[in-house]
Amino acid sequence: MPDRENIRRDVVRVVADIADLPVEQVTAEATLQDLGIDSLTGLRIVAEMEKRYKINVPEEAIGGIRSIRDILRLVDDHTPDS
Amino acid sequence: MTDAIRPCITGMGVITPIGQDLDSFWEALLTGRCGSAPIRSFDTSGFKSGIGCEVADYTLPASLRPHVLGGRCTELALLAVTQAVGQSGSETLLRGSSETAVVVGTTMGDVTRFEQERAAHTDRPADERELAALVGQPLDIMGRSVASLYGITGLVMTTPTACAAGAYAVGLAAAMVARGRVTQAIAVGCEALSRLAFAGFTRLGAMSPDACRPFSRERRGLLLGEGAAAVVIEPDTAARRRGAEILGVVDGFGLSCDAHHITGPHPEGAGAVAAMTRALREGRLAPSDVDYINAHGTGTSLNDKVESLAVRRVFAGTPGTLPVSSIKALTGHMMGAAGCVEAVASVLALRHGVIPPTWNWLGEDPECGIDCVPNQPREKPLRHVLSNSYAFGGNNASLLLSAPRGASAS
Amino acid sequence: MIESREPAGDCVVTAVGLIAPAGRTSRGLHDRLCRGDPCWRPSPASPPGGAEDVEPAAASIGGFNIKEFLDRRGSKDLSRTSQLACAAAAPLAGGLKDVAPEAIGIVLGTGWGSLPSVVAFEWETCTLPVRQVNPLLFAETVSNAPAGQVSIQFGWSAFNLTVSSGAASGLAAIAEGSDLLSAGRAEVVIAGGADAINFEALRVLRAEGTAASDPGSLPFSRSRSGLIGGEGACLFALESPASARARGAPELARLRGARLRYTPEMDASPAGCPDAVAALLQDLLDGTGLGARDIQLVVASACGSPGGDRAEARAIDAVFGGAPGQPMVVAPKGVLGETWGASGPLAIAAAVESMRARRVPGRPRGFAPDPELPPLDIPSGPREARVRNAVVLARSGAGHLVAVLLSETEDRHAA
């Protein structure tokens, strides 16, 4: 089972990098709107998640992403059990 | 004291997925002949859906061949231009003219040859030969080709203002005529379908998997199209003096910029409101003078919602319901060509007194709340039509087009 | 109806922002031109995917970091052209705080537009599944993205126009900008041009002989063999004299008139179509009511093209040459290289600074007069001189011609 804490840190780091934000600002509760992450950046984040974790996020699910927690949940939901 | 010049359209031409001349184009708009089909010009196997609106096979007259400095986009442009010039009867005026402007709007320009060269070599980056196909056909190649065809030595302008480019071309050309900078102008909007654009819009989640349904509930996005349109513009006095028929008048050109997001519109339609308002102000008309809006209406959830909001804001106090329709249901989004093709559709509507409907409509979307003239043409005497176009980069344009008789107060 | 007015009436330049290999200010640019020190070298940079060849000589802006100009998040994801345009716009923003953003319009000229992004995006669609391609890169494949990014950054929303006509793009943008201003579409128009270094294009141009293989190729020079690629961005704030006075903005120069024409394939034609250039210049003078002897400086578009430079030299000589009192001729591409959309605006910046400093740059190092060209007054070194009126010319290889006439203003000591 992938280590949840490691994944959380990794996701936060990737989001911070793509969205050009300090890592400390990217908390699990933060909404994409709060962080000023627009739709294009959101698409890139999802694409990066798919690449890193070998997951496939259905297009319908992308529109429902509102917060960092939603991203973490997506990764969790779509990562196959080891 | 300078006399006011009214820039008039005396010739039009179209080559589109639904018709390659004005008559068949207009007939398609009224009968709902849709231009969408599986795309043939490039491999769509890597994409979820492969539907687009391509221009059917056409024959390029041999006389045009030496003037095609580019590729498909240039061919489409020249075909539309020759129709327009033919209808206007102004060829002798244009030949060798230093007082004519050629104004071309496009999004991608002529990238077809580059894509064709690349198609067999996607396992490696573009080599010099393939790059030459791109570098050798820069953005201004269509305008230069038109100038070459008629020996025009006035100015050649290309405005690559993305999906509003065709409208920008018409408006800027009209403004040049109105301001006495040139004695006639040819405005062109042109676009050839490209795999790049298809990939990009697919990536943005904007691509419909099946049909384009502007303003409809359950609309799922746009379909890409291609084509070209051209209009010949000259001063009203000159047209009358040489006995040319005035098809329509460009009474206003409203410009604005959202300054908000590179692909998404201002959420409250501020830019769209400004463009429409400015067009009306330039034409010295009130919202109640507008009889029909030819919308940008791409069929995406966001554009149609925001455009509807903008229309409701500008025309809030207008008695009755203002008809608003989009022809993109049939033509797809022809990108750089769209704004000019839609200007032509607007002039045809003015001339025939018929509003082309929004086809493929399944039912009302309460978030739009406009009369989109669904699925059936509507007869209505038209004096003034607004045609909207919106683009990446937040570039907005609204053209105010009038019937020759229904002149705005001077 | 749209009311007609005289084409491109008077307007004043009240601010300039620029970025070029020669510097980030008009003074820095002018100093480099006066030193006659070309900005290019054979570049070691390699394109996406890697290439074995030595790149053509090019004048690129070394160490350019957009973050020095903007604190906007995501600015590193913009195309280089967009970054350069935003960097050139940044110095203008401070002086426009008293103007409503919806009263400021933008006109940007770009010769290559989004070509580098098109190449990069195409490659990405070949190597990645469509779900993985960068949507921001797609957004930059439209050539109006740089102007759009400037508007998003600074909120200028009166209008936003992009024009493209090769190396004449930026000067055409300024001509159109002044016309849009006098048509009342904005209170202030930000007009100019931008193009990023473009090795894809340069390699093709070198193979076909348009770009020089010899880095010693200089405009009007005897051994010229083609252009040297460059990059840059330069934007001006244009407004009416009344508007400038009302808000106390410095008047750096007055734009008296502009002319645009098209003459196909100047470089390819043996005669090089000097008549068309001469006619354009004469028409410009006639329209402003000035004579050839009223012009002290001509800033040429010459880029090192054997045929094009000859055509231009002959045209300048036909209109201005002969008797004493002919204007000085400066060819900034001998220091900056061919900066495409930025070239016309950078030439204006050079002219404006020459007016302010009362000093005109001379020949670049390595220049050798070409005996086959008419005897233009190309100063051998920087010359102290008062420039009351200057003509700036832009010419694209494919035949777009633009000429503008600038006059000094009383505000000589404006920054």
Of A19, A36, A44, the CB nearest to C135: A44
Single out the residue of B404, B80, B23, B126 nearest to residue C121, CA to CA.
B126
Place of tokens 């008077």: C10
Mean pLDDT by 10 residues, chain C (415 residues): 45 97 96 95 48 72 93 88 98 96 97 96 94 93 96 95 97 97 96 93 93 92 95 98 96 96 72 82 94 97 95 95 88 97 98 98 95 96 97 94 94 55
* Interface ipTM: 0.96
Compute CA A7 distance to the chain's CA centroid, rounded to the nearest angstrom.
10
The rounded distance, in Å, linking the Cα atoms of B9 and A58 is 49
Q: Looking at residue C274, what is its pLDDT?
A: 79
B276 and B334 inside one domain = yes
Q: Looking at residue C272, what is its pLDDT?
A: 60
- Domains of chain A (ranges; CATH) run 4-78 (1.10.1200.10)
B41 and B75 inside one domain = yes
Single out the residue of C119, C103, C104, C94 nearest to residue C17, CA to CA.
C94
Do C198 and C348 meet the contact criterion of CB atoms below 8 Å apart?
no
Residue B89 lies in a domain: yes
Of B205, B263, B264, the CB nearest to A59: B205
Among chain B residues, the shortest Cα distance to A58 is held by B205
B272 and B217 inside one domain = no
Residue B410 lies in a domain: no
**E strands in C132-212:** 160-163, 188-195
Phi/psi of residue B206, nearest 5 degrees: -95, -5
Say whether C154 sits in a helix, a strand or coil. helix
B66 and B107 inside one domain = yes
Q: At what angle do helices C343-357 and C169-182 cross, to 10 degrees?
A: 70
Distance from CA of B268 to the nearest CA of C (A): 15
Could you say which of B241, B271, B300 is where a domain stops?
Answer: B241
Largest CA distance in chain A: 35
**E strands in B311-394:** 324-325, 354-355, 378-379, 384-390
Do B28 and B18 meet the contact criterion of CB atoms below 8 Å apart?
yes
- Find chains touching chain C: ≥3 CB pairs under 8 Å: A, B
Residue B33 lies in a domain: yes
Say whether B10 sits in a helix, a strand or coil. strand
Instruction: Determine if the pTM surpasses 0.80.
Output: yes
Q: Looking at residue B180, what is its pLDDT?
A: 94
The rounded distance, in Å, linking the Cα atoms of B257 and B396 is 6
Q: Give the number of C-alpha atoms closer than 13 A to the C-alpha of residue B201, restricted to the C-beta side.
A: 31
Q: What angle do CA B391, C159, C349 make, to 5 degrees?
A: 120
Compute CA C387 distance to the chain's CA centroid, rounded to the nearest angstrom.
20
Question: Could you tell me which residues are beta bridge partners of residue B37?
Answer: B52
The rounded distance, in Å, linking the Cα atoms of B248 and A7 is 63
**E strands in B80-155:** 100-105
- Find chains touching chain A: ≥3 CB pairs under 8 Å: B, C
B81 and B192 inside one domain = yes
Do C208 and C353 meet the contact criterion of CB atoms below 8 Å apart?
no
Contact A20 C76 (CB under 8 A): yes
- With b meaning 16 or more CB within 10 Å and e meaning fewer, what string describes C50-65? eeeeebbbbbbbeebe
B103 and B169 inside one domain = yes
DSSP letter for B262, please.
Answer: S
C227 reaches B (C-beta below 8 A): no
Question: Could you tell me which residues are beta bridge partners of residue B232?
Answer: B11, B186
If contacts are CB pairs under 8 Å, which of residues 42-101 in chain B contact chain C? Answer: 46-47, 98
| Amino acid in the structure at residue C157 | S
Contact B264 A39 (CB under 8 A): yes
Among chain C residues, the shortest Cα distance to B4 is held by C3
What's the token pair of residue B308? 């509807």
- With b meaning 16 or more CB within 10 Å and e meaning fewer, what string describes B197-225? bbbbbbbbbbbbeebbbbbbeebbbbbbb
Could you say which of B194, B214, B241 is where a domain stops?
Answer: B241
A23 reaches C (C-beta below 8 A): no
CA distances (Å), origin C78, targets C67, C86, C134, C144, C147: 11, 10, 12, 13, 12
Contact A38 B264 (CB under 8 A): yes
Do A16 and A23 meet the contact criterion of CB atoms below 8 Å apart?
yes
Q: Looking at residue C6, what is its pLDDT?
A: 39
Distance from CA of B143 to the nearest CA of C (A): 9
Single out the residue of C61, C121, C57, C110 nearest to residue C81, CA to CA.
C110
Q: Has residue B408 got a pLDDT over 50? A: no
The rounded distance, in Å, linking the Cα atoms of C20 and B130 is 29
Report the C-alpha dihedral over residues C347, C348, C351, C355, rounded to 10 degrees. Answer: -160
- Domain containing B270: what range? 250-402
Do B123 and B52 meet the contact criterion of CB atoms below 8 Å apart?
no
CATH number, domain containing residue B268: 3.40.47.10
Residue B2 lies in a domain: no
**Element holding C57 (H helix, E strand):** strand C57-59
Chains B & C: contacts with CB separation below 8 Å: 253
Among chain C residues, the shortest Cα distance to A35 is held by C73
Say whether B357 sits in a helix, a strand or coil. coil
A40 contacts in B (CB within 8 Å)?
204, 262-263
The rounded distance, in Å, linking the Cα atoms of C267 and B197 is 33
Place of tokens 């190396």: C167
C75 contacts in A (CB within 8 Å)?
20
Q: For residues A57 and B333, which has the higher predicted lDDT (pLDDT)?
A: B333
Residue B386 lies in a domain: yes
- The tens digit of pLDDT for each residue in A23-33 reads 999 998 899 98
pLDDT above 70 covers what percent of chain B? 98
Question: Could you tell me which residues are beta bridge partners of residue C234?
Answer: C18, C193
Do A55 and A49 meet the contact criterion of CB atoms below 8 Å apart?
yes
Single out the residue of C8, C11, C9, C85 nearest to residue C249, CA to CA.
C11
The rounded distance, in Å, linking the Cα atoms of B296 and B307 is 8
B235 and B339 inside one domain = no
- The tens digit of pLDDT for each residue in B314-369 reads 999 887 789 999 999 999 999 999 999 999 999 999 999 999 999 999 999 999 99
C134 contacts in A (CB within 8 Å)?
44, 47
- Find chains touching chain B: ≥3 CB pairs under 8 Å: A, C
The rounded distance, in Å, linking the Cα atoms of B223 and B207 is 6
Contact B204 A43 (CB under 8 A): yes
Place of tokens 């692909």: B263
Distance from CA of B149 to the nearest CA of C (A): 11
Say whether A69 sits in a helix, a strand or coil. helix
Place of tokens 């970054």: C83
Do C327 and C392 meet the contact criterion of CB atoms below 8 Å apart?
no
**Element holding A14 (H helix, E strand):** helix A4-19
Do B356 and B375 meet the contact criterion of CB atoms below 8 Å apart?
no
Q: Has residue B398 got a pLDDT over 60? A: yes
B217 and B273 inside one domain = no
Single out the residue of B33, B3, B21, B7 nearest to residue B359, CA to CA.
B33
- With b meaning 16 or more CB within 10 Å and e meaning fewer, what string describes C78-106? bbbbbbbbbbbbbbbbebbeebebbbbbb
Say whether B102 sits in a helix, a strand or coil. strand
- The tens digit of pLDDT for each residue in B220-251 reads 999 999 999 999 999 999 999 999 999 999 99
Domains held by chain B: number: 2
The rounded distance, in Å, linking the Cα atoms of A15 and A48 is 9
A14 reaches C (C-beta below 8 A): no
Compute CA C54 distance to the chain's CA centroid, rounded to the nearest angstrom.
27
Report the C-alpha dihedral over residues A46, A49, A53, A57, rounded to 10 degrees. Answer: -10
B168 and B212 inside one domain = yes
Do C214 and C40 meet the contact criterion of CB atoms below 8 Å apart?
no
DSSP letter for A31, please.
Answer: B
B222 and B308 inside one domain = no
The rounded distance, in Å, linking the Cα atoms of A78 and B137 is 45
Residue B408 lies in a domain: no
- Domains of chain C (ranges; CATH) run 11-246 (3.40.47.10), 255-407 (3.40.47.10)
Residue B407 lies in a domain: no
| CB proximity list for B131: less than 8 A, separation 6 or greater | B114, C119, C200, C201, C203, C204
Q: Looking at residue B72, what is its pLDDT?
A: 98
B226 and B349 inside one domain = no
B272 and B182 inside one domain = no
Residue B376 lies in a domain: yes
Write out the catalytic residue numbers of B: 163, 296, 333
The rounded distance, in Å, linking the Cα atoms of C8 and B10 is 26
C174 reaches B (C-beta below 8 A): no
